């Protein structure tokens, strides 16, 4: 798919999730897994329920980590959340920045922005706002953020280099990022690379781990490191819709891994 097709597909998928908010998603990055009926084994999302600032209505179980855990957000900081969805990470970050800080959520899906703003209206936070826009062209001024966070979203962005360049642009000198994302170790079979469902599920759009980290370093960030990593098994029930039994067996033996990672770094 070309970049415009990918964006259109992602908007459709996540727009549908936003409209269905309130129903259990449990899919970690995807509506596709729900559609295949295997949501009980495809959860990538972490448990936010015990975190201060948690807003249940904002938690659609779409992440693959807890990026606020891996960077020291301080009182008074400005935090920008990329792909902010219904506001889950933003509201947790707001608790950390306090009344004197600010949190800006950016999402390209209008339905998600609407849902996030509804949630924020209920909370009454004057220092949390949600902006409609794309990560490759953030609606945020230069040198705005002390911290940039993102949770299982950058893998859906067609141009990762431009995305990280934008992160660098909006960060203040010395600002830092914490990004939870999906990366690959080894190559997916071609049949899986072309699946819209797996793309929206963060898998088919994921880069190789080494390439992903390389782009970040080439962008000019320092202190880049993987803070957390865990493997995600694509269930046989999902694979069976696209691969023959012998192909599934071969895939399992190939050593290909889908990894959830949380990466941190700092703008020089």
Q: Which of 42, 46, 47, 48 is nearest to 30 (CA)?
A: 42
- Domain count across the chain: 1
pLDDT tens-digit map of 188-229:
888 887 665 665 556 767 899 999 999 999 999 999 999 999
Q: Which of 128, 172, 140, 137 is nearest to 158 (CA)?
A: 137
Tell me the pTM.
0.88
How is residue 189 written in tokens?
């079979």
Question: Is the residue at 94 inside a domain?
Answer: yes
Distance CA 130, CA 244 (A): 44
Average pLDDT, integer, range 229-239: 85
pLDDT of 40 above 50: no
Contacts of 5 (CB under 8 A, 6+ apart): none
Question: Is the residue at 196 inside a domain?
Answer: yes
Question: Is the residue at 170 inside a domain?
Answer: yes
Question: Is the residue at 250 inside a domain?
Answer: no
The neighbour count for residue 14, using CB atoms within 10 Å, is 26
Q: Do 254 and 186 touch, CB atoms closer than 8 A?
A: yes
Which structural domain, as residue segments, surrounds residue 72?
Answer: 3-243+257-267
Q: Are strands 257-267 and 171-185 parallel, antiparallel or unpaired?
A: antiparallel
Question: Is the residue at 251 inside a domain?
Answer: no
Question: Is the residue at 214 inside a domain?
Answer: yes
pLDDT value for 39: 37
Handedness of CA 43, 45, 51, 54 (dihedral sign): negative
Distance CA 171, CA 167 (A): 6
pLDDT tens-digit map of 164-189:
999 999 999 999 999 999 999 998 88
Q: Report which DSSP code applies to 123.
A: H
pLDDT tens-digit map of 42-51:
456 789 999 9
Question: Is the residue at 206 inside a domain?
Answer: yes
Distance CA 110, CA 32 (A): 19
pLDDT value for 22: 59
The neighbour count for residue 43, using CB atoms within 10 Å, is 16
Distance CA 124, CA 106 (A): 19
Q: Do 112 and 88 touch, CB atoms closer than 8 A?
A: no
pLDDT value for 19: 81
CATH number for the domain that contains residue 149? 3.40.50.150
pLDDT of 31 above 60: no
Question: Is the residue at 227 inside a domain?
Answer: yes
Q: Do 57 and 122 touch, CB atoms closer than 8 A?
A: yes
Query: DSSP string spanning 68-85?
Result: GGGS---TT-EEEEET-T
């Amino acid at each position: 798919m070309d970049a415009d097709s990918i964006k259109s597909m992602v908007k459709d998928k996540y727009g549908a999730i936003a409209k269905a908010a309130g129903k259990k998603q449990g899919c970690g990055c995807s509506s596709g897994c729900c559609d295949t009926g295997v949501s009980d084994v495809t959860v990538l999302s972490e448990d936010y329920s015990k975190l201060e600032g948690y807003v249940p209505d904002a938690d659609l179980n779409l992440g693959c980590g807890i990026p606020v855990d891996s960077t020291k957000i301080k009182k008074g900081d400005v935090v920008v959340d990329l792909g902010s969805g219904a506001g889950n990470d933003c509201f947790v970050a707001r608790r950390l920045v306090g009344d004197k800080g600010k949190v800006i959520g950016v999402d390209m899906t209008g339905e998600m922005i609407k849902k996030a703003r509804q949630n924020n209206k209920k909370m009454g936070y004057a220092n949390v706002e949600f902006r409609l826009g794309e990560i490759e062209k953030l609606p945020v001024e230069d040198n705005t953020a002390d911290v940039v966070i993102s949770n299982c979203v950058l893998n859906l962005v067609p141009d990762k280099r431009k995305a990280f360049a934008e992160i660098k642009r909006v960060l203040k000198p010395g600002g830092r990022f914490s990004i939870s994302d999906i990366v690959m170790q080894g190559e997916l079979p071609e049949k899986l690379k072309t699946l819209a469902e797996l793309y929206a599920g963060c898998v088919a759009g994921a880069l190789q781990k080494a390439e992903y980290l390389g782009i970040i370093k080439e962008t000019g960030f320092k202190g880049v490191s993987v803070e957390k990593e865990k493997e995600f098994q694509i269930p046989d029930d999902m694979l069976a819709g696209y691969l023959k039994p012998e192909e599934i067996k071969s895939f399992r033996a190939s050593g290909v891994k889908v990894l959830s990672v949380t990466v941190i770094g700092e703008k020089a």
